[in-house]
Amino acid sequence: MDFDQMNSTLSDYGEFESPSFLHGMLMGLLCADNDLDITIWIKKLLQEAQVKKIKESLLVSLHEMYLTTQKGMNGSGFELELCLPDDDAKLSYRLHMASQLCEGVLYGIGLGGGLSEMEHELSEDVRDVIQALGEISRVDISVDLDKDESQGSEADLVEIVEFIRVSILLLNEELNPTTAAPIMDEEELGHDGTLQ
């Protein structure tokens, strides 16, 4: 998922916080309701941001984000890409976007009613994950990390991003338990529905 491209598409819409928040919100909504329809996702997003008119380019980007995210969250887990800036962006900016993504995830889950209805049923691990995402969403970005940009800081951020990705998959699994086998891609199935 191309952060810069999405950021460019959103530049005409000051109502949206960032591509990372938007993506986090989508993942949170999908965690709360894995059957979330794309039209409902876009409608909720526009209502929350109070956007009245949108261009086709934004609709296309949101549609692509939805399809890619849904596939990533329901696949093996390795396909899930987070909408975050590339490694060549400043460390402080990347951390800020990671915190916004976490904020979006929690906002989306709350908007979808995923936590309030199931809070008493959640495992301790999931409660810990939600708390950790909350802490990341409140990270202090006023500290100038770029002055002291070391290999350690870079490695820490990579670890945080991986933790976020795994946490989202864990939340999705916990809030959307399934006993069905994963659906195979059409390429993996023959015309008669059997494995190739």
Report in angstroms the alpha-carbon separations of 121 from 38, 84, 125.
28, 31, 12
Tokens representing 31? Answer: 């965690």
Q: What pLDDT, in 10s, does the model give residues 157-170?
A: 999 999 999 999 99
CA distance 170 to 152: 27
User: Residue 99: how many CB atoms within 10 A of its CB?
Assistant: 23
User: Once rounded to an integer, what is the mean pLDDT over residues 171-183?
Assistant: 66
| Predicted pLDDT of residue 195 | 45
Query: Is 31:175 a contact under the CB 8 Å cutoff?
Result: yes
CA distance 176 to 164: 18
CATH topology of domain 3-175: Four Helix Bundle (Hemerythrin (Met), subunit A) (1.20.120)
Say whether pLDDT at 196 is over 50.
no
Does the pTM surpass 0.95? The reply is: no
What is the domain partition of the chain in residue ranges? 3-175
| Predicted pLDDT of residue 107 | 92
| Predicted pLDDT of residue 188 | 46
Q: What pLDDT, in 10s, does the model give residues 56-115?
A: 988 999 999 999 999 999 877 678 999 999 999 999 999 999 999 999 999 998 887 756
Tokens representing 124? Answer: 């301790």
Task: Please state, for a pLDDT cut of 70, what percent of the chain lies above it.
Answer: 80
* DSSP letter (8 states) at residue 183: P
Largest separation between any pair of C-alpha atoms in the chain: 60
